[in-house]
Amino acid sequence: MSKTLKNKVALVTGGSRGMGAATACALAREGADVAISYVAAEAKAHAIVRELQKEGVRAAAFRADQASRGEVERLITSVVERFGRLDILVNNAGVCIPGPIDSSDVAAFDRQQAINVDGVVTAIRAAAKVMPEGGRIITIGSGLAARTAFPGVTDYAATKAAVVAYSKGAARELAPRGITVNVVQPGAIDTDMNPANGPFSAPNIALTALGRYGRPEEIGAPVAFLASPAASYITGAVLDVDGGASA
């Protein structure tokens, strides 16, 4: 089987579980050496590293809080020091803290901004300094950025819309170096944050044309494609992977 990402090094932030872990595995199956970051789930992160190594690739886990610009910058530096290069950046780490727009919980608002926007922007800026010609930057957004279908997620949706705008600008800036920048916008995906049997399952399923939740590996697959040579003419794009919720 052809390994389309052989000799490439990828970093998946928030790669210890859910969509991040599935994406890391998808990249490893295509031959990429993979680094993942985590903030608290150390045991889970190292378990994913062992799974990645079974694909015959190098793998490592790094602790980094995406809310800290300094830690994000050190994460990029550490990956390059460990693996010698960085070809693929997947900004997967994110947080959703539902609440009304008149909530007094300013800390929740600030943390969503810090992780979902500042963390992504910092990672892109740091990666752009070290990424070689033909690199790939892919950010995991959300379908809520395009259509906020229910109340309580306004702040979260705004953070995801912000990274779409930033990614489009970055795609223009980095295009002369052959570096592509794209966004994958998942719909309802069966993860710890939003389980298919959770309290929001009924309205989420009702929104989708396919009538079901997506699986984490159904996000990993399009990310692996966007990271591959086959996607070299795709940049500044937003790919909805939402079971038809946006149809």
Active-site amino acid positions: 156
The torsion angles phi and psi of 95, rounded to 5 degrees, stand at -145, 145
The answer to whether the CB of 108 falls within 8 A of the CB of 99 is yes
Pairing of strands 9-12, 33-38: parallel
- In angstroms, how far is CA 234 from the centroid of its own chain? 17
Separation of alpha carbons 87 and 74, rounded Å: 17
What tokens appear for 38 in the block?
């985590």
Report how far apart, in Å, the C-alpha atoms of 238 and of each of 67, 133, 160 are: 24, 22, 12
